[in-house]
């Protein structure tokens, strides 16, 4: 039976929590190489055995493992709670929640530089909530995936309020700008929140149309960004009369030339090639071509790919449903495992609904009850 919209809302937030808690077991341990499905199957079987043993109350009953959530969920919870409390976006309130949550529990594995933003926000008494993020990385802003990893509640809010793409884009951009002002971080977050909204709306998944819809939206965004960049370059060239400045701009444009003009569209096209293959691609090829790393551009596409590829059977993950395959496959690729699994888990949860998330998985994850409550409250917004 098709999942109800409420189950899909619950699936989104619980899917994200499960991806974060279980995925974090391997985060950072595997930057340089894949984790592999074998290790992931072992972990999941342990979770399921522990659950079974504690249910049966057998003598074997062990101390049940409990997996804590990380910054991904700490920040997603703030996004959800702020949208619920204000029945809309209040950027100051959201900035305060991010910061207070970080100051309360700063050991949740936050990104290396985003903590500077939280301190600057608190120190400035939230005077201009966008300025500290703009100052990151000498003014270019962070391109990390911290904006994308937390954005799934915005997809739910957009669906509930029947927002069109431009409204979702605006909402996502403002939430992201509180910590990440680099265009790739913003575009990654928009791609992720739109993938969640699209998955909520999809009843029968057609991989090609799902991807085509994402590509068509990213094309518009990336074209606008390109035009903006060209305009800025032309303005700079006009101003730069000094030789020194001209040299500086020359070396910069050489660097820029290495980047494709439509980086997200290029990755989405690669996803299409990967999912069309009969054989499961070599995980190293996925890591090289899509990335499973800390930059938004090197992780959001991988999450979308995992969701799409896992909608089809995977030989090494037999007897697992499509949600389970999504999470297990995402973690098996290694790298930023909590974040890729969080993002993939929220898209899969949005599509399949809560019913496909095993209760043994849910029960071992910190924050699952709050996720359920937040999902229900978002669903009940009027
Ligand atoms: O993006 P962010 O919130 O980190 C999220 C990640 C997730 O994997 C979480 O699970 C957690 O582990 O961290 O945090 P940022 O500090 O903004 O960015 C993360 C890292 O990306 C930075 O510490 C930098 O190493 C790198 N980075 C950059 N490096 C050079 N130039 C991000 N932007 C830049 C940049 O512009
Ligand atoms: Mg994390
Ligand atoms: Mg991470």
Instruction: Scan for tokens 């496959």, then name that residue.
Output: 329
239 band by pLDDT with thresholds 50, 70 and 90: confident
Residue pLDDT, tens place only, 259-301: 788 999 999 999 999 999 999 999 999 999 999 999 999 999 9
pLDDT of residue 244: 61
Residue given tokens 């971080």 in the structure block: 185
CA distances from residue 39 to 63, 159, 331 in whole angstroms, order as listed: 21, 37, 10
pLDDT for position 258: 65
Nearest to 80 by CA among 144, 165, 16, 164: 16
Tokens of 369: 């009850």
Ligand 1 site-directed mutation target among 111, 291, 302, most atoms within 8 Å of CB: 111
- 50's CB contacts (< 8 A; 6+ apart) are 62, 64, 65, 360, 364
Atom of ligand 1 nearest to the CA of 116: 16
60 — pLDDT class (breaks 50, 70, 90):
very low
Residue nearest to atom 31 of ligand 1 (CA): 137
Q: Give 114-152 pLDDT, tens digit per residue.
A: 999 999 999 999 999 999 999 999 999 999 999 999 999
Q: Determine the distance separating the centroid of ligand 3 and the alpha carbon of 150, expressed in angstroms.
A: 11
Residue listed under structure tokens 């569209």: 265
Percent of the chain having pLDDT more than 90?
Answer: 85
Beta bridge pairs of residue 295: 144
**pLDDT digits 0-9 by tens, 191-231:** 999 999 999 999 999 999 999 999 999 999 999 999 998 99
Ligand 1 atom 16, closest CA: 113
In the predicted model, is pLDDT for residue 251 greater than 90? no
CB 263 within 8 A of CB 289: no
Q: Indicate the pLDDT class of residue 56, thresholds 50, 70 and 90.
A: low
Q: Rounded to the nearest whole angstrom, what is the distance from the C-alpha of residue 28 to the centroid of ligand 3? A: 8
Q: Which atom of ligand 1 is nearest to the CA of 182?
A: 36
Element (H, E) at 255: helix 243-258
Q: What are phi and psi of 314, to 5 degrees?
A: -125, 120
The closest residue, in CA terms, to atom 13 on ligand 1 is 111
**Which token pair is 181?**
């002002």
Contact 153, 13 (CB under 8 A): yes
Q: How many domains does the chain have?
A: 1
* 174 pLDDT higher than 50: yes
Question: Which CATH number covers residue 171?
Answer: 1.10.4080.10
Ligand 1 atom 18: residue of nearest CA:
144
259 neighbors 140 (Cβ within 8 angstroms): no
The domain containing residue 134 runs over which residues? 5-379
Residues with CB under 6 A from ligand 1: 70-72, 109, 111-114, 137, 140, 142-146, 149, 182, 294, 336, 338-339
Residue-wise DSSP of 15-81: HHHHHHHHHTTSTTTTSSS---HHHHHHHHHHHHHHHHHHHHT-TT--PPP-B---HHHHHHHHHHH
Instruction: Determine which helix (DSSP H) or strand (DSSP E) holds 219, and give its type and residue range.
Output: helix 207-239
- How far CA 380 is from CA of 77, 193, 220, 278, in Å, comes to 17, 19, 32, 42
């Amino acid at each position: 039976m098709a999942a109800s919209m409420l189950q899909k809302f619950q699936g989104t937030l619980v899917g994200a929590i499960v991806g974060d808690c279980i995925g974090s077991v391997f985060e950072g341990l595997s930057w340089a190489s894949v984790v592999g499905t074998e290790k992931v199957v072992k972990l999941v079987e342990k979770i399921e055995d522990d659950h079974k043993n504690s249910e049966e109350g057998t003598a074997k009953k062990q101390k049940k493992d409990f997996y804590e959530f990380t910054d991904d969920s700490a920040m997603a919870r703030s996004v959800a709670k702020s949208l619920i409390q204000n029945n809309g976006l209040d950027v100051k309130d959201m900035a305060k929640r991010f910061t207070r949550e970080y100051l309360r529990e700063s050991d949740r594995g936050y990104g290396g530089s985003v903590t500077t933003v939280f301190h600057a926000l608190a120190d400035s008494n939230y005077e201009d909530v966008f300025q500290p993020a703009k100052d990151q990385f000498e003014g270019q802003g962070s391109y990390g995936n911290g904006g994308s990893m937390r954005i799934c509640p915005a997809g739910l809010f957009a669906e509930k309020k029947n927002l069109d793409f431009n409204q979702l884009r605006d909402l996502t951009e403002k939430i992201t700008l509180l910590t990440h002002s680099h265009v790739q971080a913003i575009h990654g977050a928009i791609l992720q929140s739109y993938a969640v909204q699209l998955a909520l709306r999809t009843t029968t998944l057609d991989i090609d149309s799902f991807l085509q819809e994402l590509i068509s939206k990213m094309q518009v965004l990336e074209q606008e960004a390109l035009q903006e960049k060209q305009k800025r370059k032309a303005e700079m060239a006009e101003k730069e009369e000094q030789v020194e400045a001209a040299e500086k701009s020359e070396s910069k444009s050489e660097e820029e030339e290495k980047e494709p003009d439509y980086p997200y569209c290029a990755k989405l096209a690669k996803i299409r090639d990967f999912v069309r293959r009969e054989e499961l691609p070599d995980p190293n090829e996925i890591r090289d071509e899509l990335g499973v790393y800390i930059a938004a551009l090197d992780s959001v596409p991988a999450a979308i790919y995992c969701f799409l590829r896992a909608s089809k059977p995977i030989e090494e993950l037999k007897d697992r449903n499509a949600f389970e395959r999504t999470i297990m496959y995402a973690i098996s690729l290694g790298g930023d495992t909590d974040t890729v699994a969080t993002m993939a888990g929220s898209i899969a949860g949005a599509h399949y609904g809560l019913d496909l998330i095993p209760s043994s998985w849910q029960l071992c994850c910190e924050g699952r009850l709050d996720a359920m409550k937040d999902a229900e409250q978002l669903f009940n917004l009027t």
